[in-house]
Amino acid sequence: MSAEPVVSTQSHLGLRRMDLVKKWAGHIPAYLILGLWSLFTLFIILWIMLSSLKSTRELFADVWALPGKLHFENYVKALFAADLELYFLNSLAVVLTSVVVILALSAPASYILSRKKFKGSNLITLLFIAGIGIPFPLLFIPLFVILTGLAINNTLIGLGVLFVALSLPFTVYMLTSFFGSLPVELEEAAIIDGASDFQVFFRVMLPLALPGLITAAIFNFIGLWNEYQLALVFLNNPNLSTLSLGLYSLSNGMEYTGDWAGLLAGVVIVMIPTIILYVVLSEKMISGITMGAVKA
Amino acid sequence: MKTRKRLIALFLLPASLVYLAFFLLPAVWAFYYSFFDWSGFGLNMKFWGVKNYIELFRDPIFRLSLRNTLFILVVGGITVFALAFLLTVLVNSGVKGKKFFRAMIFLPNVIATIALTTLWAFIYNPSFGVLNSFFRVIGWEAGAKFTFTSMDHIFYAMLVALIWIEVGFFLVLLMAGMDKIPAEYYEAAKIEGANQWQMFKGITVPLLWDVISVGTVLWSIFALKVFEFPYAFSQIQPPTTIYTVAMYLYIEGFGKRDPIYRLGYATAIGVVLLLCVVVIVLLLRRLMRREVIQY
């Protein structure tokens, strides 16, 4: 404050204020549009959360009113009567395991493809990336045959295998570009110091790549947690349902049960883990999208 | 040299084998199945030649699904990019809370599809939904009686919601590209007296060309295979007016009420879908090929 030069006179200040006002006024349309867009999203999320605490009767009496009494029993009902607690555990098990396996497979592969080029390595990279363009539904029937042959169709293991295989293209795409952007000096120094290839990877490259690995992990976790298409096709046993699929069945049963409040509680249960992850780590998540697409 | 080979094998083989067995081979295998008439697992397959494909091009439901999918691709794509560009420019115009706005606009992308469709079911509900209530309040009769989820309108109602979700993804992509354009370029242009539009056309678009072309490819792939949102949006029995190609494939192959599945036919739909992706991506690459500007 005291460092402010004393020369600034009254007219100076007046001018500056004018500029500020003008600058602010120029931003009004931007704030208005961005504000409305953000508000809409925020409103929607708050509305779901509040409505999930109303009784179904209250909900239909006035959809936009605040809950009179907080009906936490909606959650108890959704979790235990509608089995969402079981689905939650199924999802947690299959998604977490898949994410670990995806990283364990793609990190070493991406390291080789971006740092240890050999004859044919570019072709292999291309084949991995081409997978991004292959629409999954094409694979459904052959995969059904393969999984049945291996006796893992309609099991969480089978679903996990598909989660891993179908996530490889994008993860390899992300991680090859991440490994490619790391500096070579440390790697070279380690080799000069006599480190073996394995030591270079595990002691030098892996720690350096940690931010990229975390991003890939979050990205895959959120995508797989939310997905229900593969679960819909490859799981028939209601006891094995993932949370997203369970919620899908719950919402389809609505016309018979009419338990909208319970459904909304289920919606909150499925949203919470990804929203928490996003609030804590949104920068990482966002950087994941751009990791492959925007060259550093 | 030997250890290097061992390293490559050990590091690259596991991922490659899983990918080969559960992704690439099934993709190739699908072509084979598409030449058969096959009504269920465990039942006999009958060689059918290209009959599935011939039938496909005469099938009015398939044509409708294809039309819908291409509509999402083109009209949806143009809208998503226009909005994403507009919002990106606004977020970058020097407003406070840039990261907050970006995070909010991207937010729908991390929420489960079913959660989003449930929500839109409440927005569009004819008896108590927010839109119809709003029209009732302002006294617009026709608007108040409009059924967004009727056979004729459900597809467009779905598309609006889908666009709202996807804008955030492309905003993030464009913002990341824009952050790397040196601010001096804009300052120099301002000194020269350029207006906003001239700067957008002369600096932003050319320097973002790489990002834009990756973005259009990603959008095309997404749009051609879109399934989860429209399928959940329309509840148990979607009217054919909302079918996308991937939805029709699923319904023919797995999702019919009466269990007469047509696995060969469904796979043929998948093959056509893949060919669409290949043709459109190649076309885009050619159309968007420009000299990359290094800066």
pLDDT of A9 > 60? The answer is: no
**Residue A157 contacts B where some CB pair is shorter than 8 Å:** no
Domain harbouring B60, CATH code: 1.10.3720.10
pLDDT top residue among A24 and A51: A51
Q: How many residues does chain B have?
A: 295
In DSSP notation, A89-109 reads HHHHHHHHHHHHHHHHHHHHH
Average pLDDT, chain B: 89
The radius of gyration computed from the CA coordinates of chain A, to the nearest angstrom, equals 26
Rounded Cα distance between A134 and A138, Å, is: 8
pLDDT of A296 > 60? The answer is: no
**Residue B86 contacts A where some CB pair is shorter than 8 Å:** yes
CB A263 within 8 A of CB A280: no
Rounded Cα distance between A241 and B89, Å, is: 43
Q: What confidence tens digit (pLDDT) does each residue in B181-211 have?
A: 888 888 888 888 888 888 888 888 888 888 8
CB A289 within 8 A of CB A217: no
Residues in A touching B270 (Cβ below 8 Å): 135, 137-141
- Hey, are the CB atoms on B115 and A41 less than 8 Å from each other? no
**Residue B117 contacts A where some CB pair is shorter than 8 Å:** yes
Local confidence band at A3 (pLDDT 50, 70, 90 cut-offs): very low
* Contacts for B185-194: CB closer than 8 Å, 24+ residues apart: none
Residues in A touching B8 (Cβ below 8 Å): 112, 116, 118
Q: What confidence tens digit (pLDDT) does each residue in A181-200 have?
A: 888 888 888 888 888 888 88
- Hey, are the CB atoms on A275 and B111 less than 8 Å from each other? yes
Q: Distance, in angstroms, between A42 CA and closest chain B CA?
A: 8
Q: In the numeric block, which tokens belong to residue B165?
A: 């979700």
**Residue A146 contacts B where some CB pair is shorter than 8 Å:** yes
Domain count, chain B: 1
Phi, psi of A85 (to 5 degrees): -65, -40
CB–CB contacts below 8 A, A to B:
266
Q: Distance, in angstroms, between A274 CA and closest chain B CA?
A: 6
Q: Distance, in angstroms, between B105 CA and closest chain A CA?
A: 6
Written in H, E and C, the secondary structure of B188-201 is HHHHCCCCHHHHHH
Q: What confidence tens digit (pLDDT) does each residue in B162-173 have?
A: 999 999 999 999
The confidence score (pLDDT) of residue B23 equals 95
For testing contact with chain B, the best of A44, A54, A167, A295 (most B CBs within 10 A): A44
Which chain A residues in 29-58 lie under 8 Å from chain B, judged by CB atoms? 29-31, 33-34, 37-38, 41-42, 44-45, 47-48
Mean pLDDT value of segment A140-156: 93
- Counting residues of chain B whose pLDDT is more than 90, the rounded percentage is 52
Rounded Cα distance between A204 and A198, Å, is: 10
**Residue B100 contacts A where some CB pair is shorter than 8 Å:** yes
Cα separations in angstroms, A87 against A34, A59, A286: 37, 26, 28
Q: Distance, in angstroms, between A7 CA and closest chain B CA?
A: 28
Residue B294: is it exposed, middle or buried by C-beta count within 10 angstroms (0-12/13-18/19+)? exposed
What would the CATH number be for the domain defined by A73-293?
1.10.3720.10
Rounded Cα distance between A272 and A279, Å, is: 10
Rounded Cα distance between B222 and B103, Å, is: 21
- Hey, are the CB atoms on A293 and B91 less than 8 Å from each other? no
* Contacts for B60-63: CB closer than 8 Å, 24+ residues apart: B61/B240, B61/B243, B61/B248, B62/B245, B62/B248, B62/B269
What is the pTM (predicted TM-score) of this model? Answer: 0.89
Residue of B nearest to A64 (CA): B130
Residues in A touching B169 (Cβ below 8 Å): 289
Residues in A touching B101 (Cβ below 8 Å): 34, 37-38
**The one-letter amino acid at B22:** F
Residues in B touching A105 (Cβ below 8 Å): 14-15, 18
Q: In the numeric block, which tokens belong to residue B279?
A: 């043709």
In DSSP notation, chain B reads -HHHHHHHHHHHHHHHHHHIIIIIHHHHHHHHHTTEE--STTSPPEE-TTHHHHHHHH-HHHHHHHHHHHHIIIIIHHHHHHHHHHHHHHHTTT-S-HHHHHHHHHGGGGS-HHHHHHHHHHHH-TTT-HHHHHHHHTT-HHHHH--TTSTTTHHHHHHHHHHHHHHHHHHHHHHHHHHTS-HHHHHHHHHTT--HHHHIIIIIHHHTHHHHHHHHHHHHHHHHT--HHHHHHT-SS--GGG--HHHHHHHHHT--SS----HHHHHHHHHHHHHHHHHHHHHHHHHT--PPPP-
Whose tokens are 């190649």? That residue is: B282
Q: Are strands B36-37 and B46-47 parallel, antiparallel or unpaired?
A: antiparallel
- ipTM of the prediction: 0.89
- Taking the domains of chain A in order of start, what are their residue ranges? 10-51, 73-293
Mean pLDDT value of segment B237-266: 86
The confidence score (pLDDT) of residue A7 equals 45
Q: Distance, in angstroms, between B171 CA and closest chain A CA?
A: 10
- Hey, are the CB atoms on B26 and A146 less than 8 Å from each other? yes
Which residue in A255, A239, A213, A193 sits closest to A83, CA to CA? A239
In DSSP notation, A218-260 reads HHHHHHHHH--HHHHHH---GGG--HHHHHHHHHHTHHHH--H
Say how many CA atoms lie within 13 Å of B26 toward its Cβ: 26
Mean pLDDT value of segment A70-75: 86
Which chain A residues in 218-237 lie under 8 Å from chain B, judged by CB atoms? 222, 225-229, 232-233
The confidence score (pLDDT) of residue A149 equals 92
The confidence score (pLDDT) of residue A115 equals 87
The confidence score (pLDDT) of residue B258 equals 65
Whose tokens are 């338990």? That residue is: A259
Cα torsion B264, B265, B266, B267 to 10°: value is 50
For testing contact with chain B, the best of A134, A171, A254 (most B CBs within 10 A): A134
CB B109 within 8 A of CB A261: no
- Hey, are the CB atoms on A139 and B27 less than 8 Å from each other? yes
Local confidence band at B30 (pLDDT 50, 70, 90 cut-offs): very high
Which chain B residues in 199-238 lie under 8 Å from chain A, judged by CB atoms? 210-211, 214-215, 218, 221, 224-225, 227-228, 231-232, 235-236
CB A163 within 8 A of CB A230: yes
* Partner residue opposite B211 with nearest CB, options A45, A251, A294: A294
pLDDT of B259 > 70? The answer is: no
Q: Where are the alpha helices (DSSP H) in chain A?
A: 10-51, 56-61, 73-76, 84-115, 121-130, 140-149, 156-181, 185-192, 197-199, 206-208, 210-226, 229-234, 243-252, 254-257, 260-293
- Hey, are the CB atoms on B227 and A137 less than 8 Å from each other? yes
Domain hosting B163: range is: 33-39+46-287
Mean pLDDT value of segment A126-141: 92
Residues in B touching A136 (Cβ below 8 Å): 225
Query: How many of the other CB atoms lie within 10 Å of CB of A80?
Result: 11
Query: How many of the other CB atoms lie within 10 Å of CB of A276?
Result: 10
The confidence score (pLDDT) of residue B144 equals 81
